[in-house]
Amino acid sequence: MSNRNIDILHQLIHSLEKSEKRHFKLYINRSSTKEDLKIVQLFDALDKLNDYDEKLLLRRLATIEKPQLANLKTHLYKQILSSLRLLKNSDNLDLQLNEQLDYARILYNKGLKHQSLRILERVKEIGWANYKFNFLTQVISLEKKIETLHITRSTLEKTANLADEATEVSEHISRVAKLSNLALLLYGWYVKNGHARNEEDEVHVKQYFKENLPAINYDEAGFYEKLYMYQSYVWYAFIRQDFLMYYRYSQKWIDLFNVQEAMKQVEIGHYIKGLHNLLNAHFDLRNFEKFEITLREFEAFSLTPLANQHDNFRVHTFIYINSAKINQHLMLGTFSEGLLLIKTIEAQLEEYVLFVDKHRILVFNYKFATLYFGYGDYATCIDYLQKIINDQLGLRNDLQCYARLMHLMAHYELGNMELIEYLIKSVYRFMAKMQNLTVIEEEMFKFLRKSFNISPRKMHDEFEAFLVTIKKYEKSRFETRAFAYLDIISWVESKVYNTTMSDVINKKYLASKKRVYLN
């Protein structure tokens, strides 16, 4: 859907499932006023439009004048949301709790304060059981209001408990807010910049983490304090490329849900995100067997009613599982099999266009390009890289840099030597500007410049020398940033051993399996 045709009501209607559309019709037909009949007509007309076109819409709605359209659209939008609220109420704990709180307020306003207090007491128990502290703030606030303004014959002990609860909830909210803020800002840093580029980034992230990590008593911490603390450590470790710490805290994230199974129902999105990070950690550490086990568990979970309860969960599950499947092919060297996934993934991305953010599409395009590069289809690789290079959203400076580097390497493989000289200068300037040049990239540019003056029969020796140079940095954390984005070592080894990248990577995988078996 093109940006110029985006309309929020049109988006909402096209996001509805058949059951949701049917429920809306039943909901709106209960009153059947003249205005309601008009919004049903508007609903049907918008449902039939693939792209929003107001002129076409008005032509199809002969009984609606242009001055009426804005008000009717606003009314229809509200009615659809009201219908969805009724339909989805049983699926969502927050909606259920807020509905009961609304009932308590209505009863209180009617003067039935004891009935109101009984409802508040019931929902407060549910709130405590599910760590809904923000909700508890509203419940306790209404309870305190009733107790303060009216004689309810409550005991002194009950009012004292109410005051203690208010203090405890406030402290919980403060700790959760600090930890969730830290997790959010670290994630935002990663989306903007990717991994730490140098010592300066490392120092900055370490200092920020240390200054903003609140002191908490782990034994007394609730579910959300632990969840956001683990998330903070996950992003802190991932940014710094401390993949062992990244794995440990991703596992703690999932273990938290496994210990408190009921919270999967309450926070499905966080559980799905945790599985995604755990798979990434196994990928980064080349934990082949654990990766396979976690992927199978994730795929089994994706078939459960819980994972398919809402569009968000269904879409994110699709994104993360398919991202993991591509990663698996990248680390096994099975590029040709990985390419078979692309058409299916692209078709589903098109189907989910309303729900998928640009960042996810950017990452998929990079992964597709990497598969094509490893397979040796450099022309198609370049097509996908151009989608990243032409992106103007300012997301993932790291991907922008390495997309350009892979683009340069693809043209090198195609023998486009007239273009290579220009690209070397252009990509070098861009990566320097983004402060994204490590020793590996410097050596890469040096090698490519040098290759212009070397005869083809001497290139094998140059590749051997280049391999010795970059292998020295294989275990250096900052210098391996390039290896995390593009397996340059395997590419050079394919030249040295006169084979394919697929064969090189697959042999490494088989050798790793053999070592595990022998140990």
- The CA-based angle 417-418-420, given to 5 degrees, is 60
**284 within a domain of the structure (yes/no):** no
Phi, psi for residue 391 in degrees, rounded to 5: -70, 135
How sure is the predictor about 234, in pLDDT bands with cuts at 50, 70 and 90? very high
Q: Are 404 and 437 in contact (CB under 8 A)?
A: no
462 lies in some domain: yes
* Alpha carbons 142 and 137: distance in angstroms, whole number: 9
* Contact residues for 34 (Cβ-Cβ < 8 A; gap 6+): none
**Which H or E element spans position 169?**
helix 156-193
Q: How far apart are the first and last CA of the chain?
A: 54
Q: Which H or E element spans position 331?
A: helix 311-332
Model confidence at 456, pLDDT cuts 50, 70, 90, reads confident
Q: Which of 90, 123, 145 is the last residue of a domain?
A: 90
Q: Is residue 27 part of a domain?
A: yes
14 and 140 co-located in one domain: no
Whether 209 maps to a domain, the answer reads no
Cα separation, 281 vs 295, whole angstroms: 12
pLDDT at residue 413 is higher than 90: yes
Copy the structure tokens of residue 242: 């401390």
Query: Does residue 387 lie in a domain region?
Result: yes
> Is residue 56 located within the same domain as residue 97?
no
Residues 438 and 498 in one domain: yes
Is 43 in the same domain as 124?
Answer: no
* CATH number of the domain bearing residue 505: 1.25.40
The answer for residues whose C-beta is within 8 angstroms of residue 325's C-beta and 6 or more apart is: 295, 338, 341
Confidence of residue 1 (pLDDT cuts 50, 70, 90): very low
Among 154, 172, 192, which residue terminates a domain?
A: 154
DSSP state of 370: H
Tokens representing 274 are: 């945790």
In the predicted model, is pLDDT for residue 516 greater than 60? no
Please check whether residue 509 is in contact with residue 332, taking contact to mean a CB–CB distance below 8 angstroms. Answer: yes
Give yes or no: residues 35 and 56 share one domain.
yes
- Which pLDDT belongs to residue 34? 62
Task: Judge whether 492 and 466 are in contact, CB under 8 Å.
Answer: yes
Task: Give the pLDDT confidence of 250-293 residue by residue, as tens digits.
Answer: 999 999 999 999 999 889 999 999 999 999 999 999 999 999 99
- Please give the angle made by the CA atoms of 22, 356 and 283, to the nearest 5 degrees: 130
Same domain for 508 and 369, yes or no, is: yes
CA distance 292 to 304: 19
Q: Determine the Cα–Cα distance for residues 280 and 409; give it in Å rounded to an integer.
A: 26
If asked whether residues 498 and 480 sit together in one domain, one would say yes
Q: What is the pLDDT of residue 32?
A: 61
Residue 301 Cα distances to 178, 261, 306, 308, 507, angstroms: 31, 13, 8, 9, 32
Residue type at 244 in one-letter notation:
L
Total tally of structural domains belonging to the chain: 3
Alpha helices per DSSP H over 415-485: 417-433, 439-451, 459-471, 481-485
Please check whether residue 5 is in contact with residue 53, taking contact to mean a CB–CB distance below 8 angstroms.
Answer: yes
d(CA 2, CA 170): 45
Residue 469 lies in a domain: yes
Whether residue 334 lies inside any domain: the answer is no
User: CA nearest 431: which of 462, 463, 465, 408?
Assistant: 408
Closest CA to 274 of 179, 341, 178, 183: 183
- Judged against a pLDDT cut of 60, whether residue 2 lies above it is answered with no
Contact by Cβ (8 Å): 16, 23: no
Q: What is the pLDDT of residues 286-338, one digit of tens each?
A: 999 999 999 999 999 999 998 988 888 899 999 999 999 999 999 999 999 99
Cα 238 to chain centroid, rounded: 14
Q: What's the mean pLDDT in 352-379?
A: 92
Burial of 492: CB neighbours in 10 Å, binned 0-12, 13-18, 19+:
buried
pTM for this one?
A: 0.83
396/454 same-domain check = yes
Identify the domain boundary among 63, 90, 117: 90
Instruction: List all residues 6 or more positions away from 438 whose beta carbon is below 8 Å from its beta carbon.
Output: 197, 198, 478, 479, 481, 482
Beta carbons of 108 and 142 less than 8 angstroms apart: yes
484 and 398, same domain (yes or no): yes
Same domain, 393 and 405: yes
What is the rounded (10 degree) CA torsion for 85, 90, 94, 98? 70
Q: Measure the CA–CA gap between 220 and 172, rounded to whole angstroms.
A: 10
Distances (CA, A) of 224 to 175, 210, 227, 230: 9, 20, 5, 10
Helix (H) or strand (E) holding 101, with range, is: helix 93-109
Predicted confidence band at 67 (pLDDT cuts at 50, 70, 90)? Answer: confident
8 A C-beta contact, residue 381 and residue 397: no
pLDDT the model gives residue 453: 84
pLDDT at 169 exceeding the cut of 50: yes
| Domain limits for position 128 | 93-154
Statement to judge: residues 56 and 146 lie in one domain: no
Cα separation of 285 and 43, whole Å? 51
How does residue 3 score in pLDDT terms, banded at 50, 70 and 90?
very low
Average pLDDT, rounded, for the chain: 89
Domain match, 376 and 484 both: yes
Position 5 scores a pLDDT of 57
How far, in Å, CA of 424 to CA of 408, rounded? 7
The Cα–Cα gap between 74 and 35 comes to 12
SS3 455: coil
Q: Is residue 364 in some structural domain?
A: yes
Q: For residue 29, give both structure tokens.
A: 């037909």
